[in-house]
Amino acid sequence: MVSSMDEESKKILIKNSIEKSFSALNSAKKALEYSDSEVCANRVYYAIFYAVLALGYFENFVSSKHKQLMGWFNKMFIYDKNIFPHKMLEIYRNSFSNRQESDYNISEPSSMELVELKKSIEDAEYFINSVIQYLKYEK
């Protein structure tokens, strides 16, 4: 929890997180064009991760731990407040799993198909746009 953050600092951190989210999403799209599944999976996850960081700043919650942030998102926005549909947690979990596999499984190349990667990008866009709508953030 971050309780001492002033509103102006929060706005800057939220803005920066959203911008990083869009940058990662654009990188994922470029990686898809070059059929680079590993980079694409990585950037899709980080596009979502940065959007969740923005939610954290908005709600005065900051964590450097990926699983802790995911758990907080699940508890806060899916179960306790029921703000987002369960589909968003599934998107978040899938992107994390895909990134883990593409980044750390060095025994074999990524088996993600282009169709699956395209769907991941579409899901990330849906996720980010849902977060932006919740934050009432203007691009």
* Res 100: pLDDT: 87
Does a structural domain hold residue 2? no
Helices (H), 1-139: 7-33, 37-58, 66-73, 86-104, 114-135
User: What are the CA-CA distances from residue 53 to residues 19, 80, 105 (Å)?
Assistant: 11, 18, 26
* Res 110: pLDDT: 58
pLDDT digits (tens, 9 = 90+) for 37-77: 889 999 999 999 999 999 999 999 999 899 999 999 999 99
Residues spanned by the domain of 94: 7-135
User: With pLDDT > 70 as the criterion, what percentage of the chain qualifies?
Assistant: 90
User: What are the CA-CA distances from residue 17 to residues 11, 13, 21 (Å)?
Assistant: 10, 6, 6
Predicted TM-score (pTM) of the model is: 0.91
Say yes or no to pLDDT of 109 above 90: no
Say yes or no to pLDDT of 28 above 90: yes
Does a structural domain hold residue 107? yes
CA separation for the pair 67, 71 (Å, rounded)? 6
pLDDT band for position 111 (50/70/90)?
low
Does a structural domain hold residue 112? yes
Say yes or no to pLDDT of 104 above 90: no
Say yes or no to pLDDT of 108 above 80: no
Tokens of 70: 């995911």
Does a structural domain hold residue 99? yes
CB 53 within 8 Å of CB 69 = yes
Q: Higher model confidence: residue 90 or residue 98?
A: 90
Phi, psi of 2 (to 5 degrees): -120, 110
> Looking at the 3D structure of the chain, how many domains does it have?
1
* Res 107: pLDDT: 60
* CATH (domain of 53): 1.20.120.330
Does a structural domain hold residue 72? yes
CA separation for the pair 95, 45 (Å, rounded)? 5
* Res 25: pLDDT: 98
Residue 16: partners with Cβ closer than 8 Å, 6 or more residues away: none
Tokens of 84: 């987002």
* Res 115: pLDDT: 84
Does a structural domain hold residue 1? no
Does a structural domain hold residue 89? yes
Residue with tokens 């395209």: 118
